[in-house]
Each structure stands twice: as structure tokens, then as C-alpha cells.
Chain A
């Protein structure tokens, strides 16, 4: 095989591989949290305490990372488009962890009951610090899935 042909084959190979990779990247959907490994596994009281003590440090630590948090379900909210938010909180603490459930995992959210202990895994997207004292501060997580169902 001539040198010219070998170079052409290599370039053709790189072109096809590069094109395939580029196409894959362009159309890549968001990962299903069920299959993703958590960057942090933590109890709700510890996570809430971490933010209450140093919210800027905690935000820097967790922003964009996958957190699996275990705690008590305070409320399961449903909006007018059937999107669910699971609110994990501790008794006597006005702050909470708001877990916006992945739109493909609605059935799991439907089965959750208030007062049960559960693990929720999702991406930390921000901390809403309550300056008014009326709303409570919230740790916001998105694309959440319910890892385990545990009885109280």
C-alpha cells in the first residue's frame, strides 16, 4: 500500500471518528441520575447544618455535583403540569432540601409518603438563603431520583 493511501485512510478514519464523536456530543441527553454515582452521600441534618454554618463554602463545594441525601420527607408537592418536588426537612428546622424530581420519575414520587425516610439523589443547583425569615432557606437539587424507600 502506498504512503499516500495510508495517509488518506488515517485521515478518513479520524474524520469518521471525529464526526461520530461530535454528533454524539451534540445530541447527548442529560444523564439519568439512577445510573450516576453520587459525588457526596450525606444525611439531611448534616447537609442543612453545613449550609447554615457556611453557605458560600458549602455552595462552592457542592455546586453542580451529584448529592445523595437521606432524610425525612416533609412534603411531596405537585404542580399543575404534574412535576413533583420532594421536600426533605428536619423537625424544628425551617430550612429544607427541595428536590425537583426528574420528569421521567414521577411514579416514584407518587409513592412517597410524608414522614417516611428516604434517600434522594440529584444535582445541587443552588442555595436560596432566606433573608426575610418568612420562607426558610432552601438547598435546591434538580433532576432528582429517589434512591431508596425506607420506612420510618
Chain B
């Protein structure tokens, strides 16, 4: 009887441990800022998907380009039709790894500095991207923040000379996600 109870507890503990291996969100926030001297060009996406495998440090994100919300409708239309061509390339994806994953104790509340590296696919073009960020563990939840710069020209998104003072090629991306344990 004792052995049976021990075995059952062990199986339950292992199942519970596995349930904490992955964290996910479907409402992560990604901010896009390509503001230049003459114009404020910024948008928010509140529907980013992110999955982190805490065992391997694998990090994957997917963002629908049409879900970037701008204050001005015309700017949003130009962003989709002329620049990112979201009808042709509806999604931006990132597949990468937390390089110092072993430094993050996912079972203990705390703020952990991380370095992430991976492949970003935007406008049909792949590019290696590296970024610094923070993982915050708090009461069973995982928060992930990062700010980094991308060059739109690296993804074949060209800014016409006429609007070079309105839209910056150097674009700031900010990621702010709150992830929950994925129950498999």
C-alpha cells in the first residue's frame, strides 16, 4: 500500500512538473516604433503568440501584421499595403533560444536578465536577431520584456526617399508578454 501511494505521488509530481515546462500567451504585446523627425509612426499589437520551453530555453513568437493598431487609419493602411505587404506576408515569426537559460530559475520568483538569439521572419525575409531582455517570475506567472532595434531594409522593406524624414529605417520593437503555464 505504501509503495502504491509513493508511486502515485511520484507520477502526479512528475505530471505537475511537466505542466510547468512550457509557458504561453495568445495576447502578448508588441510595440512598433518607426518614428522619424517629422512624424510619429507607432503601433501596438495585443495578440502576439509566444511559447517558452523552460527546459530547453526555446522561444517562439508569432505576430499577425494586420493586428498592429495605429492611431491613424491611413497610416495603418499604408503600413499594410505599401510597406509590410501583409496580404502577401500576413505573419512575423521569431524562432530562437534564450542563450543563458540555465541562469533562469523558473521555480523561484525573481527578475532574470536574458539574452535571446534567433531567426526573425518578416516580409518574407529571414534574419538573425539578437536581443537582451528580462524574464520575471512572479507567483507562477512568467513575464517577458525586451526592447531591440531592427532595420526595415534588412527585411526588404524600403522607405522611399520622399518620406525618409517621416519614417525611420531603424525601428524599435518592444515586447511585453505575460505567459501562463501550458497544460499539456
Contacts and interface: CB of A to CB of B under 8 A. Distances in A.
Interface of A: 25-31, 59, 63-64, 77, 79-81, 83, 85, 98, 100, 123, 125-126, 128, 132, 134-135, 138, 140, 142-143
Contacts of A79: 27, 29, 46, 178
A30 B64 contact: no
A64 B87 contact: yes
B73 A28 contact: yes
Contacts of B76: 30
- 6 pairs of A and B residues whose beta carbons are closest in the complex: A126-B64, A125-B66, A125-B67, A28-B73, A30-B73, A125-B64
A85 B49 CA distance: 13
A104 to B, nearest CB: 12
Nearest to A96: B26
A100 B46 contact: yes
B66 A134 contact: no
Contact of A142 (B22, B47, B71, B178): B47
A128 B184 contact: no
A128 B64 contact: yes
Contacts of A135: 24, 26, 49, 51, 182
Interface of B: 22, 24, 26-27, 29, 46-47, 49, 51, 62, 64-67, 69-74, 76, 80, 87, 90-91, 178, 182, 184
15 contacts: A30-B69, A30-B70, A64-B87, A77-B27, A79-B27, A79-B46, A83-B46, A98-B26, A98-B27, A98-B47, A125-B64, A126-B64, A126-B66, A126-B91, A142-B66
A98 B90 CA distance: 17
- Contact residues of A: prevailing secondary structure: mixed
B96 to A, nearest CB: 16
Contact of B72 (A26, A31, A100, A143): A26
Q: Which of A27, A64, A80, A81 has the most CB of B within 10 A?
A: A64
A150 B1 CA distance: 53
Contacts of A64: 66, 80, 87
A71 B171 CA distance: 39
A125 B178 contact: no
Contacts of B178: 79-80
Given A85-B27, A125-B64, A135-B49, A143 B69 contact: yes
A134 B22 contact: yes
A134 B184 CA distance: 6
Contacts of B87: 63-64
B66 A63 contact: yes
